[in-house]
Chain A
Amino acid sequence: MEFFKQVKNGLFKENPTFVIMLGICPTLATTTTVKNAFFMALAATAVLICSNAIISLARKSFPKEIRIPCFVVVIASFVTMVDLMMNAFAPEAVVKALGIFIPLIVVNCIILGRAEAYAAKNGALNSIGDGIGIGGGFMLALLLIATIREILGNGSFWETPITMAFSPQASALVKPVSVMTLAPGAFLLLGTMFAFFKWRKMRKQEALAQTLVAAAAPWEVGPEKKKEPAGEAGPAGR
């Protein structure tokens, strides 16, 4: 069950974009439309799963001093394979929009980071699970950012205009905020999202701290503290 634990881990608890904050370059560059983001995340996930599997299977045979270049060779082979497959099967507009970011997956910190932190130390099945989880988390993050950027910046989703769905008059009145599809919008959006997730984390930590304080020292919890959770504070607290 370690496999499923790793999958779930990568999706939320160690989400590569919002928690570990790796791989920001492709996150911002490829999320101009949901279609581009989807194919980018697909490519990165494919490389991650394959490289995690191979590195984990061969982990005992890498000399410790040059293990990073060895990882890079493995990852570069898979990136080349994925690059060729994308050129063959993905829509041409997507490949052109993604540009150099497909070959740049080879220096994506997520893949090298997971290889170093997990695949080099764990079994093949669990490493594949980690790859699926982290790749899935990357996909979720990319799709979330791309959805906001495309809807606000282009008035479309997956390149179909959605303002038309409301009424022809609406699409004449509502003009998209095109800065969102350009560079500044990406930075501003990402900064705001990081702030949001940090705020949520702080709230959870504060709630947890309140619980612990209420359980250990009930006299410390004042009457005006409305946000203490009902769990342990009930019988021990006020």
Chain B
Amino acid sequence: MEKVIIDPVTRIEGHLKVEVTLDQGIVKEARTSGTLFRGFEIILKGRDPRDASQITQRVCGVCPIAHATASVFALDQAFGLEEKIPSNARIIRNLILGSNFLQSNILHFYHLAALDFVDLNRLARYQGEDARVRALKEFLAGGNSSPFFPRYEGDYRLDDRANEELASHYLLALEVRRKTHEMLAIFGGKMPHNVGMVAGGVTEKPTVDKISAFLWRVNEIREFIDNVYFSDVMRIAEKYGDYLEMGASGYRFLSYGAFNLNRHPIDQTKRSRLYPQGLADVALKLADLEPERITEQVKNSWYEDEITNRHPSRGDTVPSENKSGGYSWIKAPRYDGEPCEVGPLARLAVGYSLSQPPVRDLVEKSLSGMKLKFPNLLSCLGRHLARALDTKLVADAMAEWVLQLKPGEPIYVAYELPEEAEGMGLTEAPRGSVGHWIRIKRGVIDNYQLVVPTTWNASPRDDSNQPGPIEKALTGIKVRDSRNPLEVVRIIRSFDPCLACAVHFVTPKGRELEWFRIS
């Protein structure tokens, strides 16, 4: 038996450590732990409820809008506004969230994941005229290496041409990614950490100049998605076909649904959305979403066992860092006691199972074009393909939504702050399902809880010792070279983990802080 520790796992958001135990090169056991805690729930307590959408955005600079969205949904519900949100505000919120999806997915594929597949060493032989490839070649030839080297050495399999084009697109995608933020700021004011999305609606009015500026940019990005992003993922899939067969978690897929198409039905778990809500298993058998079935378990997390298996809205956080068997600060969220995988693949699986037209049509068309079947998506590269499809689905929808804006019509509804109220906000981040729960007492935040995508995906073992989805996906894979465990990091990154999001629920143990314990 050999133990391999990867700390830090770079090219993800946040601080992650992974430990795998190998038996003759096969992963017998994998353990993921988050290594940063900030204590957002404690910080939120006692504040003006309206500030939650700004504070919770700061959970994550890569996907702040998912938190802003979940937070304004929870506030709208607590303030009794869900039926009053103007349709301009609904659309602008979708455009802001959608822009963040495009940013995050493009960043993830090109700048976080691609260097596990693309070999920049081979650019040394490049003789062509592509200015971006030449720039990279000259940079590396001039004795520079960081941040591209060192790296894990191993099976970089692309031919020269594919390598060169992917390298060129790495640089091109830097520009495209920047434009997604410019597009977002048209209605969001600035990015990261937008100011446009607030409880009651949005702050920025749709005017024809903004509408056309947005449309122009989204169309430019759609062209990139259709002509570059999608085919780049396919090129990697062609050479790394075995990664279409490995890295499945085997667990049920969970989606909270995202992008309201209407303000009805008032029940968020049934609201009409571009991505529908629900659960699908690997055979695509469906179940309705019932958030009350979600609990968080802590047998293998550094928390007192007495708080285990509670619903997030009644959750507590009593740390026990020396607990025997504990190995992570991440709790283990479970649905009906089972682990679930979340993310673009989960959204597609749920939408496809439900035969929701845009999702079903896109998945069917793309799979037949790639000569693949749905089960191929249940894999490491399948997650990358699903993320590319997710990007396309959202971008195409945005181009339609922006034209539904009506200049001159309302964007915001005023309200009175309640003394006592509760609210729940459910949406999707690029990397999976996000839920926020707020309780207001005496006009301030009494309790605020977040359950976020990477808490699901990077969860440790639960009370019945079932591993979390990333741990499960790693179990059984073959690692060719334990000093260069490329297989491990390729699979981890396919989940697009966001650790800053995953670990927020920690009350440090210590007398001086006990009175902040959330009950």
Judge: A and B partners, yes or no. Answer: no
Residues of B bordering A, CB below 8 Å: none
